[in-house]
Structure formats: C-alpha cells, structure tokens
Structure 1
Amino acid sequence: MAKTLTATTIALLRAKPTQFAPAAVRTALREWAFNTNRRPEAPRDVPAILRWVERNSLPVSSWEDPEKVDQVLLAIDTRLDGKQAAAWSRKRNRRILNVAMKYAVRRRILRASPLPKGKESTALTKTTNAVATLYCGPRPENAVAMRVEDVTLPVPGADDQWCEPLIHTATLEVGKQWTDTGEIHERRDLKGRAEGETRTVPGHPALTRVYDNRNTRLTKWLNDGIPPVQVAEWAGNSVAVLLTTYARCVDGQLPDLKRRLEAAGGLPEEEPGAG
C-alpha cells in the first residue's frame, strides 16, 4: 500500500523536487508518511521533505481530470527504471488505488471514483503460476508456515502413498518496520477465509517418498561392504532391525568375499601322524 500511495503522490506533484533527491522523497513517503507506526521516529530531514510535498501536491479536484488519472495509472504501472511492472504488480497497485478511491468517496472527499470501470485487459493481468498448481498448490506464505506436524503421512507400504498437508496459516514477509512485533514475518489467517479456518489438500506421492532415499543409502552401504554394526549406528537402527530389513537387498558381494577368503590362505595343513 505504501509503495502504491507513494507512486500516486509523486505523480500528482506540481513539480519535481530540486532541493531534495527524488529517492529521498520516495523514502520519506514510503517509510515514514505512510507508516503510522514509525512516524514519531522519522529522521530530522523527513518533516521538511513532507512539508515540501504538501505544498506541491495538486488539489483533490485534479482527480476529475482524466489526463491526471491516466498519469497516475501510468505511474503505478511503471517501475523506477521506466519499464512496465509485472502483471501481478500492476493488478495489485490498481486494487489498492481502487480501495483508496472508495474510502475517499465514503468520506465525501470525492463524489465518485475517478478510476476507469472494468478490469485491465486480460492480456496484461493474466499470469502463469505453474509452481502453485504442482503437488499441494500452497501460496508461498502458506508453505513458509507449514511444519512437520501439519502433514499426515501415509502408512508405509500402503498402495495409497498420498499425504494430507494441513494449510492453516499465512506467514508473510513484510519487513520488521511494518509489523507490530518488530519481526520480519507477520502471521495472518488464510486469504479469503474466515478467522482460524484451515484447509486440507492432497499431497502428491512424490512428496512422501523421501524415505526411499534412506532405504537406498542403507542398502548401498551394506553392498559396499561396510560392517552392519557401523551402518546400524549411522542409521540409528539396531543391527537386528537392519539385517531383518535390508540383508535381503545385499547383492554382488560373493566374488569379493571369495577373494578375501583366498587371501586369508588355503585349507589348513594336516598334522604329522594324523590318520
């Protein structure tokens, strides 16, 4: 919201700053003017910058000028380097600006929203989120919040190896200057859901067959001739469990064992006088 409102404010200035660097003006707006929690901590130069912005801001009536509205929309759709922002970023900025306009109408600051009706062209807003459609489909903030105990694993050896992840929280990285706790992340309820509501989704078997890697590793150690006692210690198993589970998988060691027996010597010689 702060980024969108900063771009909007700068687009509606009468002139470009001369006594202040443009970056300093953006920082003063984004980090202090639009962050109510941090306003009392603003550096000494910030009040002067914000007073200049106030003096050079166009009146609210400028929103009735379609050209000014187009100018604002172009500003929030454009990155600082002059290139067009990503589709999801443009969509988000317009949604935030639309909320601000509704607030202004409700407070009778504006008679009606000056923003154009309808949505941005599908060609501009449509995005592809291939990652989200794979496996469980969590949002990144949902995946960050997941813990081991949130996943119900299938019974080992069962035909159905699908798991059931429980998605219950969104942990967003918003920056410590934007949270009440001073932490980088902020925990929230799921997007578009009631408070405390969760959802369970099917997890592809590819997510639950990590144990197969362990089986492969233990079998490889045994096939490489590492003593079972040592393998059991590394694996955290007892020797009995190790041999019961994996001994039948050991293969290909017979030629090596024969060579070791030959190296140890042949049959023992008979003692003199033996019958």
Structure 2
Amino acid sequence: MEDTTYDVRVYKIEARKNAKGTITSFRVLWRVGGELRKETLRKAAQADAFRSKLMTASREGEAFDMRTGRPVSWAREKSPLSWYAFTLAYVETKWPYASPNHRRGIAEALTDATEALLTSDSGQPSRDARRGALRWAYSTRIRDKSEPSPEHAEALRWFEEHTIPLAALSEPGRGATLARAVLDRISRTKSGELAAANTANRKRMVLNNAMEYAREIGALPGNPLKSVKWTKPRTMSAVDPRTVINVEQARRFLVAVRKHGKRGERMQAFFGCMYYAALRPEEVIDIRRAHLTSLPGEGWGEMRLTNAEPRAGSRWTNNGQPRERRALKHRADGETRPVPIHPELVTLLRSHLEEFGTGPDGRVFIGPRGGEMTDRAYLKVFHEAREKAFTPEEAASPLMDVPYALRHAAVSTWLNAGVPAPQVAEWAGHSVDVLLRVYATCIHGQQGEAMRRIWDATAS
C-alpha cells in the first residue's frame, strides 16, 4: 500500500525541562518513512510504555501508516468515532469560515456538551484542566498547528477514552436521554444556575448545526436534538427603555468624560461617535481619518464606514490579537455604510484631530502611547464619568449601564424624531425588521398623532 511503510526507527525518550531545569514531561521520538513523529507524555512510565509498543510493532515487521505515524493495527483496533473526535473534526470544518466570536461560541457550546457526554469520571483531571484543554483543542491547535502542553495532552487523552461513541446518540431510548442531558447542560452555567436565555439558545443553535453536520457526513442517521421536546427559553430582544438617555444626560456625560483627565480628553469624541452617530464600539475603534469624508466648519458632516474590529480574544483570531479587522456587521466584504455626522459631533471630531492627530495608519482614536483604544481603558473612563455625570438616582438605575446604550440612545432619538425606519436602518447598520423589533419599546410620543390620524380616517 502506498500510504504505509516498513521504514521505521524509534529513538530514545527525551526528557523535557522547564526554565528552572525541572523535568515536566517526556517526549517519544520516532521516524516513519523519513518523517519525524513526536508524542509528549507527562510520566516516564507512560512514555516508556508507548515507546515499547512502537518498538514491538517495528520488530514484528508490522507496516506503519504514513499519515498517522502509528502501526496499521492500531487503526484497526480503534474504537468507533467518539464524541470528542467528532467535535475536533467539526471545529476544523467550521474554523476557516467562522468569525472569531463565532469560533468562541462554538467552543463554549461543545465544551458544555462534552461534559454531558462522558462515559466515566474515573481518573479525570480537574474541571478547569478539562475545560482549558478543550478550549486549546478547539482553537490554538487548529490555528497554530502546535503541540499541547503536558497538562492539556493528558486531559485530551482522557477525553479520547471517556466520551461516548457518537453513534450512541442515535440509539433508541438512549439517544434521546443523552440529547436531553446535553440540552440541560447548555441551559445552565458552570455553577449549575440557569443560564441567560440568549446564551442557551445560542449554544443550542451551535449544537444543532453540529448534529446536522454529523448527519451530513453519515456519522448519524438523523439529528438527535429534534427527537427531544425542549422549550426554548424566552429572550428579551427589545431594548430596555430604562437604559436610554436623553440629550441633556448625554451632554452631561460627555462633559464628564472630558474632565476625566488626559485619557478622558482622548475619549470625548470616541463616546460622541456612539451617541451622535449610533456606532458600535468596534466600529468607532476602526475609524480612520479617510472615513471622515466631510467635517465642515458648520453644519452636518458625513462618514463612510468600511470595517469594524470586534473583540473576541487572542485565542480565536487569525492574527493572535484580541481584535481582528473584519467587514461591517451584516455586510459583505468591501461593502460600506454612510452615516451622517451631527454638527455637535463634527465639532468634537475636529477638536480631537487638531489636539491628538491620528495614528500611523490613520486611526482616529489611539491610546496615549500610540496603540489602539483598549476595552479596559475606555470602560474605566466610561463608568467613572457616568458616576460623576449622573445624579445618585440616575447612577443607581439601569440608565446607560454599558457603552452600547449610547448607540441605543442615538437610534431611539432618530426614530422619535420621525426619521423613516429604512433610513435609520441604513445609518445604524440594521435591517428594518430588526430595527423595529429591537427599538419598538423606545418609540415614544407618537400615540397621539396616530390616534388623530385614525380619527380623521374614520370620522363621518
């Protein structure tokens, strides 16, 4: 067979040491058809046993698989596809096409589901070790093609041996029980409390897609989740009107940001973009000078957004950084979005550019040392300025509890000012359907006019 060889050479075990010179693991090295293979184990006895098996197979003249580097007989002895092995294949399939935040969501859902599909708890590593190993397997392993740490390697070997065969999900009776266990697990936090409805529903969507993939590749005859009656948690999709500030409160807040100090001076226009232009934080962070197409001395200006830099965490991005530049939300690569610049925001932006200039790449909002604006920096200023700008009663309420509430206030203001919904949707980067559903509770003051029109239409 072309994919097998008898050209095998097994080397001595290599002790692995940390910076302090302490042995932390043991690596078995061997060559198969000229290609070096490695297996790292935490204990010397484990490494010795693994090496002995390789030596025995080689001495007995057994063929080795060129793809895996293992004796061919090991593949024949391998148990049916396990849930853990299936999740690895699924994540690798999804990774190239998923956004960083979606990758993280996939990993969270699969990690929870795996906890519900164990065959035994015998010899299991700690829960933190298990979950950490799965996060590595669903992220860094794929992106960097790297080897696991000894701790991760031990936990992952345990998963290989202690997760159910995927086929068990299709067994009469047992499959439904397992599927219900999975749904129950994703409906709760790690501590066992009920999870937020949005979280549970998002994880179920991931798992449903995974089961459909299993059906697609012939690993399952059907989707086992569909055989279970599961009540979808009700979610609140509309904006809470209690969080929406008015223009007077917004101006108080922006003044408080300015007075916060050097950092605050750099962030007044930053938060102003969220309130006056309804930008998402990741859109503000990406703004370049070239995006500000019009900043007149008086009146309205305009910006044209091209990208956003959502924060997902360095584990999930292709570049290994916390943020990764991507297309605008709900838009294809290369698609742009025009947004009007309120005269007050024009003034803020002109002052900001005059005082601080731009970064080397034309970035408008940069930190004191020239780097991008970090979440930690702007959240600290946001909360401290909010406390100083608001009355004690306002500060204790849900009013503008997070920076995103500034965007909600902008969109609500536009709708209440009578701007047609399609126009608001274009500026805000929403579909009209989502816009009206999310902001329905924030449209005030139009009931009287609506009733007058009904009266005029029905009056004899």
State the TM-score bracket (shorter-chain normalisation).
0.5 to 0.7
Q: 1:108 aligns with which of 193, 218, 221?
A: 218
Any conservation in 1 of the 2:302–2:338 contact (CA below 8 Å)? yes
Shift of 1:122: 6.9
- 1:147 and 2:285 are equivalent in the alignment: no
Partner of 1:42: 148
* 1:26-37 to 2 correspondences below 5 Å: 26-35=131-140, 36-37=142-143
Aligned positions, number: 211
Q: Supply the AA of the counterpart residue of 2:331.
A: R
Q: Which moved more, 1:186-195 or 1:131-140?
A: 131-140
Per-residue CA shift, 1:144-175, capped at 9, x if unaligned? 222343234453333xx3x4332211212232
* 1:84-163 to 2 correspondences below 5 Å: 84-116=194-226, 121=232, 123-124=234-235, 126=237, 128=239, 135-158=276-299, 161=300, 163=301
Q: Supply the AA of the counterpart residue of 1:170.
A: A
CA distance in 1 between partners of 2:346 and 2:204 (Å): 41
Any conservation in 2 of the 1:33–1:39 contact (CA below 8 Å)? no
CA distance in 1 between partners of 2:315 and 2:293 (Å): 36
Partner of 2:163: 57
Per-residue CA shift, 1:220-275, capped at 9, x if unaligned? xxxxxxxxxxxxxxxxxxxxxxxxxxxxxxxxxxxxxxxxxxxxxxxxxxxxxxxx
> Identity percentage over the alignment?
31
Partner of 1:68: 178
- 1:2 and 2:113 are equivalent in the alignment: no
CA distance in 1 between partners of 2:289 and 2:198 (Å): 31
Shift in alpha-carbon separation, 1:123–1:70, aligned structure 2, 3 A: same
Query: What do you get for the CA RMSD once the two structures are aligned?
Result: 3.3
Q: 2:346 aligns with which of 202, 208, 226?
A: 208
Any conservation in 2 of the 1:136–1:204 contact (CA below 8 Å)? yes
CA distance in 2 between partners of 1:86 and 1:136 (Å): 30
Corresponding residue SS for 1:186 = coil
Any conservation in 2 of the 1:141–1:172 contact (CA below 8 Å)? yes
Q: 2:125 aligns with which of 16, 20, 26?
A: 20
CA radius of gyration, larger in:
1
Shift of 1:83: 2.5
Corresponding residue SS for 2:324 = strand
Shift of 1:184: 2.2
Per-residue CA shift, 1:66-106, capped at 9, x if unaligned? 23222212222322222333343333322222221222121
CA distance in 2 between partners of 1:146 and 1:157 (Å): 21
Q: TM-score, normalised by structure 2?
A: 0.40
Shift in alpha-carbon separation, 1:40–1:122, aligned structure 2, 3 A: closer
Per-residue CA shift, 1:165-193, capped at 9, x if unaligned? 32211212232233333322212222332
CA distance in 2 between partners of 1:24 and 1:176 (Å): 19
Any conservation in 1 of the 2:201–2:233 contact (CA below 8 Å)? no
Any conservation in 2 of the 1:151–1:165 contact (CA below 8 Å)? yes
Higher relative contact order (CA 8 A, sep 6+): 2
CA distance in 2 between partners of 1:211 and 1:180 (Å): 32
Shift of 1:196: 1.1
Shift in alpha-carbon separation, 1:24–1:197, aligned structure 2, 3 A: same
Q: Supply the AA of the counterpart residue of 1:173.
A: R
Shift of 1:112: 2.2
Structure 1 residue runs without a partner (length 5+)? 215-275
Shift in alpha-carbon separation, 1:197–1:120, aligned structure 2, 3 A: farther
- 1:190 and 2:295 are equivalent in the alignment: no
Any conservation in 1 of the 2:167–2:219 contact (CA below 8 Å)? no
Shift in alpha-carbon separation, 1:184–1:84, aligned structure 2, 3 A: same
Any conservation in 2 of the 1:32–1:38 contact (CA below 8 Å)? no
Q: Supply the AA of the counterpart residue of 1:68.
A: L
Partner of 1:230: none
Q: Which moved more, 1:18-27 or 1:132-141?
A: 132-141
Corresponding residue SS for 1:164 = strand
CA distance in 1 between partners of 2:230 and 2:275 (Å): 28
Q: Supply the AA of the counterpart residue of 1:85.
A: A
Shift in alpha-carbon separation, 1:86–1:167, aligned structure 2, 3 A: farther
Per-residue CA shift, 1:3-23, capped at 9, x if unaligned? 221111111112336441111
CA distance in 1 between partners of 2:275 and 2:224 (Å): 40
